[in-house]
Structure 1
Amino acid sequence: MRSSLKTRFAKAAALAALAAALAAPGLARADVKLGVGAPITGPDAAFGAQIRNGAEQAVADINAKGGILGQKVRIEVGDDGADPKQGVSVANKFVGEQVAFVVGHFNSGVTMPASEVYAESGVLQITPGSTNPKITERGVATIFRTCGRDDQQGEVAAKFLAGRPGEKIAILHDKTTYGKGLADETKKSLNALGIREVLYEGLNKSEKDFSALVSKIKESGATIVYWGGVHTEGGLLLRQMRDQGVKAAMMGGDGIASDEFAAIAGPGVEGTFMTFPPDPRQRPEAAEVVKAFKAKNYNPETYTLYSYAAVEVLKQAAEAAHSFEADKMAAVMHSGKTFETVIGPLSFDKKGDVTRADYVVFEWRKGPDGRVSYYQM
């Protein structure tokens, strides 16, 4: 990947100015900028809110303690709308604003092209939610993630389904980088276990009427539908399955990890399964942060704390490197160093993946308060 001379010059000038400010005691120090790229609007806005809220709370807590390397952190938010082209525009905007690092994006299909812009421009990136394996398989030294990978959760899903003898499995996806990637990884793991699906189909994210697809599910005799996609289409598909008398259970990945899934799917959501790491809200390291969120009447579910943790990692990496330069921070992160975060200790391998893979299975059911949500099995 080759960056333009203009981009290189701008980046070099920004780093030189930053170095001069750090080296001269008594001079005013400019804020260091953190870009937060996420779907703030659109169908995946629930996840965008989680990423934004997590990053903003982390920055507020860090600034209250003096910032990073003596500088306050200022957030620049970019709305990618879950669209790859818009994500690239956000990435170019961040580069033009001379952000030092980025937390984002959420959708794997957005992270892939945006990450090329960041890599070319020397901007460190941590995604809290993009799980497609290819993201860290391209040899890009400055991209990391605090979440796991689809091949990891696909394997967990396949083992769970294989442990339910007699199930007839339909595999559906939304044709996105994330959704199809997750469905294919699960299919691959199932097939390796000697289990063949009775149906494999894709749908378009823009569709609202899934009647024809529901008819295919019914004709296939499927007893469980594995869904590769997010909560919006997944919830709508499940509602229409129930409306047409299809009683097959559903299982999905981390893309349905939002209470909005239950609101969209309706009463038929009970009995749905999902892969996700153990609830980060229950970790002792997260207790104070969770308390702060609840004081704001906000439930820090799923990716909120993964985003908060990404900012914590950036702070510790910059301080260990004594620099905001992407290559120096990346070298620290690739070194095997353990970072203490609200989702527990994290370290990264040479690809930029976290070294722990802790996906488990959740079930959607009524809790003690009568509200339907996801609970670890």
Structure 2
Amino acid sequence: MPSTLHKAPLAQAALAALLALHAAGACAAEQVVKIGVSGPLSGANAFAGKDNENGVRLAVEELNAQKLQVGGNTIRFELQSEDDAGDPKQGVTVAQKFADAKVKFVLGPYNSGVAIPASRVYNDNGILMSTVGTNPKITQAGYPTVFRIVASDTQVGGSVAAYAAKELKVKNIGVIDDRGAFGQGVAMEFKRQAQANGIRIAGHEYTNDKATDFAAILTTLKARRVDAVFFGGYAPQAAPMARQMKALGLNVPLLGGDTLCSPEMAKLGGAAVGENVRCAQAGAIVAKQPGGQAFIDAYKARFKRDPDVYAPSFYDQTKFIAQAMKTANSLDAAKVGAAMHAISYQGVVGTYGYDPKGNLKKTTVTVYTFKNGALTPLASY
């Protein structure tokens, strides 16, 4: 019979082993999920890229505080943000970098021209991509894990055209685009639907996303007596365009898509950006939505600035991905994507639900202007 002198050390050793095993189990119970963000963190649109990243970061921090359980593990999200510089080649490089790092969920890209080629890389590597790129080509491939989290060019262009015809009574309009995937796409949709609303296209001029001098094309449109100008492009070009319109005495509304609905327009355009600018942005008015003001307050408290155009959408989609993980009880991107096609999510911008190609089934588009430098809603469609 063993001596009782040996029992205590044996019991202590067993207890130590049990505690070590428990500690190892506790460590194994936490699972890291990488969330990638691809956007322009340098260049003229860096303000938008950082805003998008902030929206994801806020969602990630809130989700981590909730200690979500998926597949029996506690999930901890880690943000990995990469600069695609708004350049298609760089966007593809970023996509491959995420694939190599085993990132399975990516928010972005911001630019349609980046999202179109990058989407193939993400699809081929089993990565779920959520973009605000509005060009219809992004979802035409029908990749099952590619989602457009805002209205498409078709929806935005149609809303601006309807507003121009019904509210502004525009009869003769000039169109300018920057020849990029977004700018050209939204301009073509606007033209098509403007003509359907009885508006005459007086001329279609072209520029690029690095231009700063628009005097020649604006002078051409002024000579054609346009009563409005539609610009397909981004705020860093639209703001100086508004200043130059004013300087040339072309005192007509400057219309555009969601990229003009940015505080950057007022910042860069100064007094030349006011009620003369009308832009359309996907989603309802955030401050008037359930949870919308709470999001704005949380964003300002965290980042010491107001959210820009897409921070709420990126925030919502990150939360939707987390909900889909719980619904699927899986971290597999294909299963999470399938869940997102099957369920809906109420976010701060509105309700998210996707058709088989990854487009929103239903979305409100709101037309805005600027008053005293602040974005002000006019009408929703």
Relative to the length of structure 2, the TM-score reads 0.87
1:353 alignment counterpart: 359
Aligned residue identity for 1:144 = F
Deviation of 1:194 (Å): 3.2
Q: CA deviation at 1:341?
A: 2.1
8 A Cα contact 1:279 1:302, kept in partner:
no
Q: CA deviation at 1:226?
A: 0.7
Asked if residue 306 in structure 1 is aligned to residue 309 in structure 2, the reply is no
Among residues 247, 253, 260, which one is paired with 1:249 in the alignment? 253
For the 8 Å contact 1:283–1:344, the answer to whether it is kept is yes
Question: Which residue number corresponds to residue 330 of structure 2?
Answer: 323
**Number of the residue aligned with 1:9:** none
Q: CA deviation at 1:372?
A: 4.1
- Equivalent residue number for residue 293 of structure 2: 287
Number of residue pairs matched? 348
Alpha-carbon shift at residue 68 of structure 1 (Å): 5.6
| Displacement after TM superposition at 1:282 (Å) | 2.9
Name the amino acid aligned to 2:175.
I
Structure with bigger gyration radius = 2
Taking a change above 3 Å as real, the CA distance of residues 188 and 306 of structure 1, as seen in their structure-2 partners, is same
Letter in 1 for 2:288: Q
Shift of 1:285: 2.1
Structure 1 distance, partners of 2:68, 2:52, is 20
State the 1:103 CA deviation: 0.6
Aligned to 1:131, what secondary structure does the other structure show? coil
Unaligned runs of 5+ in 1: 1-23
For the Cα contact (< 8 Å) 1:68–1:315, is it kept in 2? no
Once residues 68 and 344 of structure 1 are traced to their aligned partners in structure 2, the CA distance between those partners, rounded to angstroms, is 26
Question: Is 1:32 equivalent to 2:33 in the alignment?
Answer: yes
1:274 to 257, 271, 279: 279
Distance, in Å, in 2 between the alignment partners of 1:44 and 1:244 is 26
Aligned-pair distance for 1:344? 3.0
SS in 1 for 2:147: strand
Contact 2:177 2:206 in 1 (8 A): yes
Match of 1:145 in 2: 148
Please report the RMSD computed on the Cα atoms of aligned residues, expressed in angstroms. 1.7
Equivalent position of 1:187 in the other structure: 191
Query: Which region of structure 1 is more displaced relative to structure 2, 295-304 or 216-225?
Result: 295-304
> Identity of paired residues, percent?
32
Q: Distance in 2 between matches of 1:230 and 1:179?
A: 8
Structure that is richer in strand per residue: 2
Q: Secondary structure at the match of 1:197?
A: strand
Q: Give me the whole-angstrom Cα distance separating, in 1, the residues matched to 2:116 and 2:148.
A: 12
| Residues 354/166 of structure 1: CA separation in 2 closer, same or farther (3 Å cut) | closer
Amino acid at match of 1:96: D
Which stretch shows the higher mean deviation, 291-300 or 89-98?
291-300
The match for 1:71 among 65, 72, 75 is 75
2:82 is the alignment partner of 1:97: no
AA aligned to 2:89 is K
Q: CA deviation at 1:26?
A: 4.3
Task: Give the match for residue 130 of structure 2.
Answer: 126
Q: Cα distance, 1:160 vs. partner?
A: 1.2
Matched position secondary structure for 2:255: strand
TM-aligned CA deviation for residue 27 of structure 1 = 5.1
| Residue in structure 1 matched with residue 139 of structure 2 by the alignment | 136
Residue 236 of structure 1 is matched in structure 2 by: 240
Which residue type is aligned with residue 159 of structure 1?
A: A
Shift of 1:347: 1.1
Q: How far did 1:288 drift?
A: 2.7
Q: In the alignment, does 2:212 pair up with 1:212?
A: no
- Asked if the contact 1:320/1:332 (under 8 Å) is kept, the reply is yes
2:205 and 2:89 map into 1 onto residues whose CA distance is 26
